[in-house]
Amino acid sequence: MSKIEYTKEQIEELISNPNVRSCTSKYITFTDEFKVRAIELDKSWLYHRRIFKDFGFPGYIVNSNIPTQSLKNRRWRSKEKGPIWLTGKKWRQKKETIDTSKMSKDEYIKYLETKTAYLEELHKKVCWYYP
């Protein structure tokens, strides 16, 4: 982890860049369009510092290890998880919650019976014994 902390002036300068989504004193979050375009330029063998300079980042970013590490990580992740990873989509879906307060008594009983049957089957699979 980098020990660099950005000043308020640097944060304001970075936020004014259209390729930055958000910025704190320690972290910079880039836009999805920038991520995709930077990987495309990186695949065409354009130098990583040149990519960041062309997108209007200040010298203290261009001359740091951020361009190198950022593109290296994105290159590796896009090989591992595919190009959709770059767009910031969630990989894990939200767990579906069931609102039981709006169920009728019959629906609630049916729901509990189904849940109990499922848990019994799960228990059989987890706690099985050799014959």
DSSP secondary structure string, 27-73? Answer: -EEE-HHHHHHHHHHHHTT--HHHHHHHTT--HHHHTSSHHHHHHHH
pTM of the model: 0.63
- Confidence (pLDDT) at 73: 85
CA distance 114 to 68: 53
- Looking at per-residue confidence, does 81 or 7 come out higher? 7
- Confidence (pLDDT) at 117: 96
CA distance 118 to 41: 51
**pLDDT tens figures, 24-69:** 999 999 998 898 899 889 889 889 999 999 999 999 999 999 999 9
**pLDDT tens figures, 91-121:** 566 777 888 888 999 999 999 999 999 999 9
Provide φ and ψ at 20, rounded to 5°.
Answer: -110, 125
Beta strands at 28-30 and 20-23: parallel, antiparallel or unpaired: antiparallel
Question: Can you list the positions of beta strands (E) in 12-108?
Answer: 20-23, 28-30
